[in-house]
Amino acid sequence: MTARRAFVAEHRASYEKLRKAHSAPRQQVISLERRARGGRRSSGVLKTCRRRSLRAWHVLDNFSLATLRKFIDWNAVLPHLELKGVYPRILDDERQGRRRRQIFAEANALLDTIVEKKLLTARGV
């Protein structure tokens, strides 16, 4: 019974230490607007982005999907099409390669339609 009590006491102490660490006040972050106005940060405040980076924001509205298409990670998409494997080797599988190439071609045909008819709009910052 003493080993059990020692085990419980040890874990209670470690959990109490974790509780105190998580309930401690967090460091304050200066907003970008305040930083741009020249707000100073003390040693206990997290570093925010530099003033010159505020001018580096670019808003992309109605970005070309044909351009974005080049950057599609098919290894992330194919599992959602219920295809398991690594692209492009997945298309060369001996047993199911033909079926996988057909599904991949159908997905690309749908993507062609989306790009051609502009069914989706890409926006970002």
pTM above 0.85, yes or no: no
Instruction: Find out whether the peptide bond into 79 is cis, omega within 30 degrees of 0.
Output: no
Query: Three-state DSSP class for 39?
Result: coil
* Main-chain phi, psi angles of 10, to 5 degrees: -65, -45
Q: Is there a contact between 122 and 62 (Cβ–Cβ < 8 Å)? A: yes
Q: Which residue type is seen at 111?
A: L
Residues 97 and 113: their CA atoms lie apart, in Å, by 24
* Main-chain phi, psi angles of 110, to 5 degrees: -65, -40
Domains plus CATH for the chain?
1-55 (no CATH), 58-125 (1.10.288.10)
Q: Is there a contact between 29 and 47 (Cβ–Cβ < 8 Å)? A: no
pLDDT digits (tens, 9 = 90+) for 58-114: 677 777 888 888 888 888 877 877 777 788 887 887 887 888 888 888 988 999 998
Per-residue pLDDT band at 122 (split at 50, 70, 90): confident
User: What pLDDT is stored for residue 113 in this prediction?
Assistant: 93
pLDDT digits (tens, 9 = 90+) for 37-67: 665 544 444 444 445 555 556 677 777 888 8
Cα-only R_g, the chain: 27
